[in-house]
């Protein structure tokens, strides 16, 4: 059987390419598992992270398991720019064929205190990208947007702006058949800067207390490699206009803290829900369930695929639905042993009570 290599010979643009997901995505692309690209452009407004990313990889023996730095340094281009700036995006997309749109403001409390900043990056930035692609003669074939479970039935600014980001990207399919726009939506990435786990780890190392906002809180969790798998599966299996949602475990945050503390005598303090924070996350809403089907993947066993709300893109309602109710973290909680396995897989525990 021939393995699909959708990135073979392609020119790739990664917006937000110096963020947690962007860096992991670029590193995995460089392994060649999805094909060897002609060029990768890392687009980000943070020149300090550009420099750090280049320096870290240049000083490593290998940035990937099988590609040494001198072999791929000509593949990588670092471009300083902000998705808020339309003029900066136009030349960035000029030669791109595949675009992974990971640029975003994603810290929930920060977005609550500075909502217009989230609007400018998550909404206006995504509009700028679609406009730059559709207003100029360029070779773009596929755009994959990176979203979050907080975009589903949003109650906070981050989720509201990411929800609109999804709609803006997927609306890009209307009136043209040259570029395919699709998206992925997943839960908390265990090792990302936005995750609570690095915060808990530092609190444990400092002797506590470990702070939790609510003892009822549940969250969907995904490892960084699984997040990249989801992005890769989206480009291979999702239809234009679809949002691909991995079937993920959810955990009580109290179990996460218990696993990380282990037998250590460290106090836990409940401090109250932060601005804009949900008790439970929802990956697929009841309304979206009416247009959600199951989708097979290459890296993970199964996904839910939410068809576009726009009938001109979706082709109408599917005949066979994947679910009858919303997909909530409240209903998908794994037991304590499952939490330990999850944290060990993500590299956060060597064994219970020994934080990596």
> So what's the pLDDT on residue 269?
93
In contact, 190 and 348? CB cutoff 8 Å: yes
Domain holding 152, by residue range, is 11-355
> So what's the pLDDT on residue 62?
52
Position 5 in a domain: no
In contact, 271 and 211? CB cutoff 8 Å: yes
Q: Reduced to 3 states, what is the DSSP secondary structure of residue 42?
A: strand
> So what's the pLDDT on residue 352?
46
Position 336 in a domain: yes
b/e code 130-156 from CB counts within 10 Å (16+ = b): bebbeeeebebbbbbbbbbbbbbbbeb
In contact, 42 and 19? CB cutoff 8 Å: no
> So what's the pLDDT on residue 73?
57
Pick the closest to residue 241 from 149, 313, 300 (CA basis).
313
Pick the closest to residue 240 from 306, 192, 150 (CA basis).
306
> So what's the pLDDT on residue 276?
81
Look at the chain and report how many structural domains it folds into: 1
Q: What is the pLDDT of residues 220-265, one digit of tens each?
A: 999 999 999 999 999 999 999 999 999 998 999 999 999 999 888 9
For residue 310, pLDDT beyond 80:
yes
Average model confidence (pLDDT) for the chain?
89
Average pLDDT over residues 203-213: 91
For residue 135, pLDDT beyond 80:
yes
For residue 168, pLDDT beyond 80:
yes
Task: Count Cβ atoms within 10 A of the Cβ of residue 87 and give its class: 0-12 exposed, 13-18 middle, 19 or more buried.
Answer: exposed
For residue 72, pLDDT beyond 60:
no
In contact, 77 and 49? CB cutoff 8 Å: no
- Choosing from 150, 153, 162, 278, which is the catalytic residue? 150
Give catalytic status of residue 150 as yes or no: yes
In contact, 213 and 271? CB cutoff 8 Å: yes
> So what's the pLDDT on residue 353?
54
Q: How large a percentage of the chain has pLDDT more than 70?
A: 91
Q: How large a percentage of the chain has pLDDT more than 90?
A: 70
For residue 71, pLDDT beyond 80:
no
Position 37 in a domain: yes
Determine if the pTM surpasses 0.85. yes
Using pLDDT thresholds of 50, 70 and 90, give the confidence band for residue 67. Answer: very low
Position 205 in a domain: yes
For residue 209, pLDDT beyond 70:
yes
CATH number of the domain to which 127 belongs: 3.40.50.720
> So what's the pLDDT on residue 66?
40
Position 188 in a domain: yes
In contact, 4 and 298? CB cutoff 8 Å: yes
Position 142 in a domain: yes
Element housing 204 (H / E): helix 197-205
Position 74 in a domain: yes
Q: What is the pLDDT of residues 88-109, one digit of tens each?
A: 999 999 999 999 999 999 988 8
Using pLDDT thresholds of 50, 70 and 90, give the confidence band for residue 286. Answer: very high
Position 255 in a domain: yes
């Amino acid at each position: 059987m021939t393995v699909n290599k959708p990135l073979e010979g392609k020119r790739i643009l990664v917006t937000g390419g110096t963020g947690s997901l962007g860096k992991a995505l670029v590193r995995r692309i460089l392994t060649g598992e999805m094909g060897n690209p002609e060029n990768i452009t890392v687009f980000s407004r943070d020149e300090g992270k550009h420099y750090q990313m280049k320096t870290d990889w240049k000083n490593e023996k290998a940035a990937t398991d099988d590609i040494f730095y001198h072999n791929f340094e000509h593949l990588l281009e670092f471009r300083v720019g902000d998705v808020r700036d339309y003029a900066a995006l136009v030349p960035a997309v000029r030669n791109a064929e595949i675009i992974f749109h990971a640029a975003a403001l994603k810290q929930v409390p920060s977005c609550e205190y500075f909502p217009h900043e989230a609007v400018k990056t998550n909404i206006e930035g995504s509009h700028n990208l679609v406009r730059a692609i559709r207003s100029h003669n360029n070779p773009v074939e596929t755009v994959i947007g990176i979203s979050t479970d907080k975009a589903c039935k949003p109650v906070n600014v981050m989720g509201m702006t990411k929800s609109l980001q999804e709609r803006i990207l997927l609306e890009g399919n209307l009136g043209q058949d040259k570029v395919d726009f699709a998206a992925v939506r997943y839960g908390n990435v265990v090792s990302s800067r936005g995750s609570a786990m690095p915060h808990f780890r530092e609190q444990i190392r400092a002797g506590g207390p470990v702070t939790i906002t609510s003892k009822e809180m549940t969250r969907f969790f995904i490892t960084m490699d699984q997040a990249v798998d989801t992005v890769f599966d989206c480009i291979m299996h999702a239809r234009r206009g679809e949002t691909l949602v991995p079937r993920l475990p959810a955990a009580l945050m109290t179990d996460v803290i218990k696993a990380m503390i282990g037998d250590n005598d460290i106090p836990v303090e409940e401090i109250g829900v932060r601005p804009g924070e949900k008790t439970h996350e929802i990956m697929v809403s009841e309304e979206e369930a009416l247009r959600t089907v199951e989708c097979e993947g290459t890296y993970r066993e199964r996904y839910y695929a939410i068809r576009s709300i726009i009938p001109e893109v979706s082709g109408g309602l599917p005949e066979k639905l994947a679910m009858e109710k919303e997909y909530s973290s409240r209903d998908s909680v794994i037991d304590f042993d499952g939490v330990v396995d999850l944290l060990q897989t993500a590299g956060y525990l060597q064994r219970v009570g020994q934080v990596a």
